[in-house]
A and B are shown apart, each in its own frame.
Chain A
Amino acid sequence: MTIKIAQISCGTEYSGIQSEIENAAATVGGKMVYPDVSYEEITRAVDDFGFDPVSPQLKLMIARAKALADGHYDADAVFIASCFRCAEGALVRNEVRRYLQEHARLPVVTYSFTERLKAAQLLTRMEALVTIVAKKELLARERQVGLTAGIDSGSSTTKAMILRDNEIIGKSWTPTGEVIGSAQEVLDEALEEAGVKFNDLEGIGVTGYGRFLIGRKLDANLIQEELTTNSKGAVWLADRQRGEATIIDIGGMDNKAITVRDGIPDNFTMGGICAGASGRFLEMVSKRLRVEITELGALADKGDWSKVNMNSYCSVFGIQDLVTSLAAGHTIEDVAAAACHSVAEQVYEQQLQEIDVRRPIIQVGGTSLISGLVTAVGEMVGSEPIVPENSQYIGAAGGALLSSGFLEGQ
Chain B
Amino acid sequence: MKIFIMPPNSLILYDLVERFGHQPLSVMGTLRERVSGREMESPPLNVTPADVTKGLKYAGIEVPSGIRGRMAVWGPMIDEAEAAIIMHDTPFTFGCVGCHRTNLLLMHLIRKKKIPTIEVNYPEDEEEGKIMVSKIKTFLEGLK
Contacts and interface: CB of A to CB of B under 8 A. Distances in A.
Bound together: yes
A88 B104 CA distance: 14
A51 to B, nearest CB: 13
Contacts of A55: 95, 98-101
B45 A14 contact: yes
A407 B101 CA distance: 55
B98 A10 contact: yes
B100 A54 contact: yes
Interface stretch (A110-118, A253-261, A274-282, A376-384): A110-118
Given A10-B66, A83-B67, A16 B95 contact: no
B42 A83 contact: no
B16 interface: no
Residues of A in contact with B, size category:
20 to 34
Given A15-B69, A17-B49, A84 B95 contact: no
B48 interface: yes
In this complex, the member of B43, B51, B65, B95 whose beta carbon has the largest number of chain A beta carbons within 10 angstroms is B65
A175 interface: no
Interface in B40-68: 42-45, 47-53, 62-68
Interface in A82-126: 82-86, 88-89, 113-117
B41 to A, nearest CB: 8
B24 to A, nearest CB: 21
B64 A18 contact: no
Contacts of A306: none
Interface string B91-105: 011110111110000
Contact of B69 (A14, A84, A88, A89): A14
A13 B62 CA distance: 19
B107 to A, nearest CB: 13
A59 interface: yes
Interface in A65-93: 82-86, 88-89
Nearest to B104: A54
Interface in B81-128: 92-95, 97-101
A204 to B, nearest CB: 38
A10 B92 contact: no
A42 B101 contact: no
In this complex, the member of B51, B73, B101 whose beta carbon has the largest number of chain A beta carbons within 10 angstroms is B101
A85 B44 contact: no
A54 B104 CA distance: 11
B37 to A, nearest CB: 17
Interface in A102-153: 113-117
B64 A85 contact: yes
B98 A16 contact: no
A14 B70 contact: yes
A92 to B, nearest CB: 12
B142 to A, nearest CB: 32
Given A14-B73, A39-B93, A115 B49 contact: yes
A83 B99 CA distance: 11
A55 B43 CA distance: 23
Given A19-B42, A85-B62, A85-B63, A11 B99 contact: yes
A186 interface: no
Which 7 residue pairs spanning A and B have beta carbons closest together?
A11-B66, A57-B98, A14-B69, A83-B64, A115-B52, A15-B65, A115-B49
